[in-house]
Amino acid sequence: MLTKRIVPCLDIKNGRTVKGVNFVDLRDAGDPVVLAKQYADLGADELVFLDISATQEKRKTMHDMVLKVAAQVNIPFTVGGGISTIEDVDDLLHCGADKVSVNSSAVKRPELINELSSKFGSQCIVVAIDAKKIEDDWYVHLAGGTIPTDIKLFDWAKEVEQRGAGEILFTSMNHDGTKGGFANEALSKLTDLVNIPIIASGGAGTVQHFVDTFTKGKADAALAASVFHFGEIEILQLKKELKQHNIEVRL
């Protein structure tokens, strides 16, 4: 059985780690390089590093930050934000990233997923999907959740898999930062729909929420930010408790 992964997320703005609620009201959470090393040392399985304002500000991901973070960690490391070309990915992989995450650029030009997976292999291409439940359906949003689309979550998930994505990072905008639990119903539907790993994001607040997303949501990995950044949940203790619920994790 594949082990479930615990993935701290570092949302970066102006060189600092930030965290908000429902994608707004951002507050400072510390130095991303310091946090990255700390998480690697404390037992995180992977890290995700998202330059959250790169797309809105129409600029590329900060390479110097990626270099510094990569020098401090010995676990897989995904980078996203403002990635739209083969050259962008090539640069980031050379800076030390193991995987890249594309979001808005892939929605605007879906062929990008085909091009990237063909060039670099699907194993290092993560498609991030920020979606919001509106009435009875989930809709994809772009540019850090600021631009709604009429694209439905489950249709897009199926398409990105067919185009060569190796993983999907699904963030529920309704649950983000609320600490009320993950969107397990949608996650379960996603994992049944596609054959690539699903990373759950948005809503982590307690250890039980992680238990639920691995059991009810059937997620392959669980991503969280503020509960780790502000010391509310300790990664090693979380993993020990997951083990007690017969959830396979790497200790």
Residue 49: which of 77, 74, 28 has the closest Cα? 77
The token duo for 106 is: 């892939």
Catalytic residue among 11, 51, 176, 212: 11
Question: SS3 sequence, 155-200?
Answer: HHHHHHHHCCCCEEEEEECCCCCCCCCCCHHHHHHHHHHCCCCEEE
Phi, psi at 97, each rounded to 5°: -65, 145
Catalytic residue among 45, 51, 88, 130: 130
Whether 220 sits among the annotated catalytic residues: the reply is no
Whether 51 sits among the annotated catalytic residues: the reply is no
**CA 115 – CA 104 distance, rounded (Å):** 15
* Angle, CA of 76, 121 and 44, to the nearest 5°: 15
State the catalytic residues: 11, 130
